[in-house]
Amino acid sequence: MIYKILFPTLLLFLAVTSCQKDFLDRQQPGELTFDKFFQTPEHAEQATNAVYNQFRSFDCVGLGYLGCTDIISDDSDKGSTPNDQPPLTDIDNFTLDPSNTYFSAVYRGYYRAIARANIAIENIPQIDMDAALRDRLVGECRFLRAYSYFLLVQWFGDLPIITRTLGADDYYAQTRQPVAEVYNQIESDLLAALAVLPEKDAYPAEDLGRVTKGAARGLLAKLYMLKKDYEKAEQYCMEVINSDKYSLLPKYADNFKQVGENGAESVFEIQAAALPTQQAAGPGASPYNMIQGVRGNPNLGWGFNRPSDNLVTAYENGDPRREATVIYVGEVLPDGVTEVKDNPEILNERFNQKAWVPAHPGLQDNGPGNIRIIRYADILLLAAEALNENGKSGEALQYLNQVRKRARGTNQIILPDVTVTDQSQLRDRIYRERRVELAMEQHRWFDLLRWGRAASVMQAVGKNFVAGKHEILPLPQTEVDLTGMPQNPNYN
Amino acid sequence: MKQIGTISKRWRSSIPLLLCLFFAQIAIAQVRISGQVLSGADGSTVIGATVKEKGASNGAITDIDGNFTIEVSDANATLVFNYTGFTQKEVALNGQTRIAVTIDEDAGLLNEIVVVGYGTQKKSDLTGAVGTVKARDIERIPSASVDQALQGKIAGVYVTPASGEPGASAFIRIRGTGTLNNSNPLFVVDGMLLDDISFVNPQDVESVEVLKDASATAIYGNRGANGVIIITTKRGTSGRSAIVSLSTYYGNQQIAKKLSLLNASEFAQMYNEYKGTNFYTDPAALGTGTDWQDVIFRDAPIANVQLGVNGVWKKLQYNLSGNYFNQSGILEKTAFDRKTGRINAEYPVAKFLKVGTSVAYSSALLKSVNGGIIGSAYRMSPVFAERDSTGDFTDPTFFGQALANPAADLFYKSDWRNRVNRLVGTFYTDITLFKDFTFRTNLGLDKWGVRLRYFEPAFEVSNSQRNPYPRTSRDTTNVRSWLWENTLTWNKEFENMTLNVLGGQSAQEYRNELRRTINDTLQPNGQEIREWAMFSFIFRTNATFFDRYLLTVSLRADGSSRFAKGNRWGYFPSVAVGWNIAQEPFMRGQKVFDRLKLRASWGIVGNDKTQEYPSQGIITDELYAVFGPNETLDSGATLINYANPDVVWESAHQTDIGLEFAMFNGRLSAEVDWYRRFTSNILADLPIPDYVGSQATPVVNSAQVRNTGWDFTLNWRETRGKVTYNFGGILSLVDNEVVKLNQAKSEILSENLGQGFVTRTVPGQPIGSFYGYQVDGIFQNTEELSQYPKFGNEKPGDFRYKDLNGDGILSDLDRGFLGSPIPTTMYGFNAGIEVFGFDLGADVFGLSGNKVMNAKAASTRFAVYNWERLFFDGRWTGEGTSNSVPRASEEGLQHNTRMSDFFIEDGSFLRLRSVVIGYSLPRHLLSGIGMSRLRFYASGTNLWTKQDYSGFSPEFPSNNPYAVGLDRLYYPMSKTILFGLNATF
């Protein structure tokens, strides 16, 4: 009797004991692990798409992004109700504390984009797949990495340059590299991307919105402008212009409507879509439209990023671009129906019309608008600026007036052609044109920094801007605490 | 309640042996004595008790009615009565031939049997540090969970209620916070290993043993490093007639302490100051306004009914119980309701074979309110009413702050219910082989389903408090765990040596499936399965030499699926020695010590509790990109949460030296232990720099922590005539220190409340110490502003922080240590007396040496829009008015809410944990109506607390060791008064 029970039990015991090796081998059911990823062309594409995905995140294009671009500049104020989002108020007023949550938001957001790009750039080349597609995908990632560093370096100055996936031993050991090194990194990524990326029209239709040769040239031009290397800036602007892939849309305002998305004027934009969803935000959404949407009635959003009084007065008389940029109370929205009602909670309310989106499925969180990063008009004005710096004011005028002509439309009374050829006077005209043409598109702050005008301009609008300090943001306090990296000058 | 006999079944095997003894000796008897043995607790008959003549070897066993007959050598002989779990009783016959004897349950001081890992041991043979709490003490705290009842009961066991929410469990830290990782102990319920005991009905519990040192815990290897808690439920009692017991209570709970906030007129005055305007022209006219705490809190009932049957039916020993527990919460719309049933049974199939089981089913429903309603009430201005003049909920965003009207949240967000159905059981077979060997196979099963459902209707109170579409979200979790253990035990007595050798194998698998839907649509990454498995070998030897020298050696080898191949197997040894000094020949004549034992142990125990797949990078999908003219989704996936392939379990080297003694015939017993626990390779996901770009923080073997301390226990119990009284106490001293951080890190900063990190973990200090500026005073005037270092924008009335490093400028380098959230001293006292049917008992519990942070005030910037009274009363309003509380000013807010010692308060407290008064009707009144016991009682829980802390209560546990002691407004504690009865038939 004993043995009848004992024997099978022992047998079972032995069986269990011998199969413990498999018993202890566990992988998460239904999940792919890293060692099985980067094996197929699909993986290469997915890893690349994941980089694009990050640019729709709240960290990358949310309150922090708008705070550290438009709100910090003279183009706009915080907006929304007075006490909503005190950290943005602090940014608007140059009370720049290293613990401000939005500095870490953008810092974190773009470094995460860099990490996604790094892992793709490291691993895609090992995949056995079509070489052209493989190179293109790596090129896309290198562009997106360069774009991330391009923003970060303008905000924070010296940066740790991370170009590989860090292992546990490297987490705390990175150091800040000089701005020039960051520029070099951006340049090498963009040149490599330029070599392999297709032109805008060379992509299959379903890939519309991926980064292109034109985008790489455009960003190179911006980089050289930043470096004050006007020769090269001119070169890459001209390459974009002469590529014949881009033109100005006849109507300025169309740029910011659905019809303008990826249109003839679009050089690079972050793609978003309001897909039907049961959640607040759908899988293709960005928070960009919601944050800047009309707050109150109609309730389109939170109402941040209010076009400033100073911006409103910066336009020449009758410039239709002002109407296309600013939503006022009482105005009928671009849908032609809805009227914006006064919201007693907000003083002097105005909203960014360029971030306005028409009705779409789901909540306001489901932001469908593409975020325009580089427009052809931007390139034309950069070309004008570079040409003028290179002493070619005649050619510069041509591109400047091209932008003004489009803005003017059929109204011949307004926005006459600029004719000044004096380098300094023309420079001022180009700067002014950049401001109004690109207002509320997150360029202004970087332009002011690049021109060395941040201190004078911001102080002139009554901001507590400290020269020699506020040109760069403080590194996030948490980052300084964790790594011991030096803080930017004059920040405690 | 029946509290008898859990242990007895384990020693029941000795009964046949004694029987043989009895028959062998019967021949020499001369005088025939007969009688009956009754239990002192409830007067029921005791079956199977042994009766012996003192100084002789003849004996008898009581029959099914408790009767016995015995032949003794002399009419004046003394009889000795013994029954496992009861104190030995001696009765002098003095010529009587018919006697009735009442024996009492063992007070547990001398012959106590202690449950240990994979067996039981006599307390006197134990080489490890083990603390025990019996049913009586567990039943005293009206709670759904057993762990709450352990607070202040065992030295070295620090129990903190997770919150005051109905049905809430507790956090348990055994001998300090051993790790930066999960510090929760392992639970073993009737042989099933698990991490959560919320299904256990406290009234089913016979005893709880806490294994504290390596000698006791190393047998649990990779799961023992934070201590092991063994819960034994009540078993069918051998040799007793069937007993039906009923117990019930009903009571009322009240919030133990409210926060002190401002009323409407005070608020208005403060608001005007804060804004520097005259917004409220006549603050006084506003009166008291709304007390939002009164809106959300209430008095709430608590009720419990337990019915049990215990007995033997045709050799089947059984204990059946059913329980209904219903606790409404002191927060409106919260409630916990649980039904549990349990079947414990054991059946001897043959002489060498017995089978048994212990199965519990529990069905619990928790109702709650979604969102931070307590925080909303805290921040809400008292000038608002719940509803406006039109009857709608008041829109509270008048001040531009996105506040939520708590009354509206109660109305719209309270359809939140979490149902947990759970079946936990063990099934075992014992086979006795060749007399000395026992083989046991034990199969354990734990299966539970959690159904969380939340419905929110469409509503709009304000821009920020609204929901445009009705929404039903469901989280469905299914957990399944099985355990199979096979052990072989060899018990052998040699001359001068007894040996107990245990060897075995254990395998366990755990699987957790989660599915998350909103409006019946599966959410992105809303389906997740996690599994772990462990395979182990167990070995232990207990040896006793000459009745006084004890040796325990144990080893467990654990293979854990959590780690990569090559890092998988861990070996956990322990060695312990003990010396029963009182048994030495040279001690034989002394009358001072009944027991005197010295013991020492050393061992290595592990902890593998971390994520299930810390070494495997898992690809995140659904990272869509949008492309094409039709804006379609392109699938995206990559690694965004980094992993660490080199990760291994953490290991704790533990040393314990203990002294136990008992004096005055066992009336006094005491225990002192010194221990050191050194944990290395600590598994933790430390904050990493953002430039790494990983969304999750990978788990690394990151640090070393040392806990050293003392545990003291002292108990006195005595019966004098009709009076039985007892008192006792525990005292624990712990010193927690981080020894080293790996990865060349000098510090771990954590818990960013909006203005940087507030806790810091550095070598030489306790884990998660508070870190920030020290307030040196308040800038009184503009001269002072120029005299002292400052950040820049300070005005008179703002904090003047200390320039800690003395470099003449204020910067983040001037932050320093502001105190530790880990108590250094924990103590508890208890006392009880029973006389003339009355029983009275009380427990107090206290902590000291810990700090807490008023994080609610810091993170909400003094709770704007309301203020705490201490801020109102003490604020600076002009030169000389205050040197400790800053001005009320929006302008100074950023500066004055930097993490500083202003937000740090003393976390010490002393609490009257429970007080009980009961009356048991005399037995002779009850026997006529078929009852053996009827007791009425009243009890109070948490009736009185002495605390310095300004918040609800100073207990803020967390599974995150860097976030302990932060008051983020948990569900507050309640005080409870209840009335109950215990009846036995």
- Residue B889's pLDDT is what? 86
- Residue B141's pLDDT is what? 75
Residue A18: pLDDT band (50, 70, 90) is: low
Chain A residues close to B352, C-beta within 8 Å: 1-2
Question: Which amino acid type is present at position B190?
Answer: D
Both tokens of B623, joined, read: 């990272």
Predicted confidence (pLDDT) per residue in A131-174, tens digit: 999 999 999 999 999 999 999 999 999 999 999 999 888 888 89
Closest of B634, B567, B582, B601 to residue B219, by C-alpha: B601
Mean per-residue pLDDT, B645-670: 92
Nearest-by-CA chain B residue for A176 = B691
Interchain contact, B627 vs A9, CB within 8 Å? no
- Residue B478: is it exposed, middle or buried by C-beta count within 10 angstroms (0-12/13-18/19+)? middle
Chain A residues close to B617, C-beta within 8 Å: 33-35
Interchain contact, A23 vs B690, CB within 8 Å? no
- Residue B743's pLDDT is what? 65
Residue B533: pLDDT band (50, 70, 90) is: very high
What residues contact residue B604 under an 8 Å CB cut-off, 6+ apart? Answer: B214, B218, B571, B572, B573, B574, B651, B652, B653, B654
CATH of the domain spanning B6-103:
2.60.40.4130
**B427, B613, B626: best mutation site toward chain A, by most A Cβ within 10 Å?**
B626
Both tokens of B369, joined, read: 């309110």
**A22, A83, A208: best mutation site toward chain B, by most B Cβ within 10 Å?**
A83
Residue B33: pLDDT band (50, 70, 90) is: confident
**A19, A36, A49, A127: best mutation site toward chain B, by most B Cβ within 10 Å?**
A49
Chain B residues close to A145, C-beta within 8 Å: none
Nearest-by-CA chain B residue for A113 = B693
* pLDDT above 80: residue B86: no
**Which position has the higher pLDDT, B159 or B105?**
B159
Predicted confidence (pLDDT) per residue in B339-384, tens digit: 999 999 999 999 899 999 999 999 999 999 987 899 989 988 999 9
**A3, A25, A278: best mutation site toward chain B, by most B Cβ within 10 Å?**
A278
What is d(CA B937, CA B142) in angstroms, rounded to the nearest whole number? 13
Mean pLDDT of chain A: 93
Alpha-carbon gap: B924 to the closest alpha carbon of chain A (Å): 50
Chain A residues close to B505, C-beta within 8 Å: 13, 16-17
Contact B861, B379 (CB under 8 A): no
Alpha-carbon gap: B603 to the closest alpha carbon of chain A (Å): 25
Interchain contact, A83 vs B399, CB within 8 Å? yes
Chain B residues close to A33, C-beta within 8 Å: 613, 616-619
Contact B449, B420 (CB under 8 A): yes
A41-197+453-492: which CATH architecture?
Alpha Horseshoe (1.25)
What residues contact residue B79 under an 8 Å CB cut-off, 6+ apart? Answer: B33, B51, B52, B53, B54, B70, B72, B90, B91, B93, B99, B101
How far is CA B778 from its chain centroid? 43
- Residue A285's pLDDT is what? 93
> Among A251-255, B156-160, B208-212, B890-894, whose mean pLDDT is lowest?
B890-894
Chain B residues close to A262, C-beta within 8 Å: 629
3-state secondary structure B321-334: EEEEEEEECCECCC
ipTM greater than 0.85: yes
* pLDDT above 90: residue B863: no
* pLDDT above 60: residue B23: no
DSSP type of residue B394 = P
Mean per-residue pLDDT, B266-290: 90
Mean pLDDT of chain B: 88
- Residue A14's pLDDT is what? 62
- Residue in B634, B643, B809 closest to A49 by CB: B634
Interchain contact, B624 vs A279, CB within 8 Å? no
Nearest-by-CA chain B residue for A168 = B644
DSSP type of residue B697 = P
What is the CATH topology of the domain spanning A244-272+290-355+375-451?
1.25.40
Residue B506: pLDDT band (50, 70, 90) is: very high
Mean per-residue pLDDT, A211-227: 98
* pLDDT above 50: residue B569: yes
B113-233: which CATH architecture?
Beta Complex (2.170)
Nearest-by-CA chain B residue for A9 = B441
- Residue in B439, B624, B638 closest to A283 by CB: B624
Alpha-carbon gap: A449 to the closest alpha carbon of chain B (Å): 24
- Residue in A53, A95, A111 closest to B691 by CB: A111
Residue B111: pLDDT band (50, 70, 90) is: low
Interchain contact, A98 vs B431, CB within 8 Å? no
What residues contact residue B418 under an 8 Å CB cut-off, 6+ apart? Answer: B365, B366, B368, B450, B451, B452, B453
* pLDDT above 60: residue B151: yes
Interchain contact, A363 vs B468, CB within 8 Å? yes
**Which position has the higher pLDDT, B323 or B469?**
B323
Q: Name the residue ranges covered by the structural domains of chain A.
A: 41-197+453-492, 244-272+290-355+375-451
Chain B residues close to A482, C-beta within 8 Å: 687-689, 749
Q: Is residue B894 within a helix (H) or strand (E), and if so which, with residue range?
A: helix B893-896
**A37, A48, A143, A171: best mutation site toward chain B, by most B Cβ within 10 Å?**
A171
- Residue in B618, B640, B810 closest to A31 by CB: B618
- Residue B24's pLDDT is what? 41
Q: Name the residue ranges covered by the structural domains of chain B.
A: 6-103, 113-233, 259-296+371-412
- Residue A4's pLDDT is what? 57
**Which position has the higher pLDDT, B54 or B287?**
B287
Residue A13: pLDDT band (50, 70, 90) is: low
Contact B872, B857 (CB under 8 A): no
Same fold, A41-197+453-492 and A244-272+290-355+375-451: yes
Contact B107, B717 (CB under 8 A): yes
* pLDDT above 90: residue B76: no
Interchain contact, B627 vs A24, CB within 8 Å? no
- Residue in B617, B639, B756 closest to A99 by CB: B756
- Residue B26's pLDDT is what? 40
Interchain contact, A205 vs B639, CB within 8 Å? no
What is d(CA B414, CA B42) in angstroms, rounded to the nearest whole number? 46
Chain A residues close to B745, C-beta within 8 Å: 172
**Which position has the higher pLDDT, B792 or A23?**
A23
- Residue in A81, A118, A480 closest to B400 by CB: A81
Residue B401: pLDDT band (50, 70, 90) is: low
Alpha-carbon gap: B627 to the closest alpha carbon of chain A (Å): 5
Chain A residues close to B620, C-beta within 8 Å: 50
**A11, A16, A17, A28: best mutation site toward chain B, by most B Cβ within 10 Å?**
A28
Chain B residues close to A363, C-beta within 8 Å: 468-469
Predicted confidence (pLDDT) per residue in A81-120, tens digit: 877 888 899 999 999 989 899 999 999 999 999 999 999 9
Per the document, the length of chain B is 985
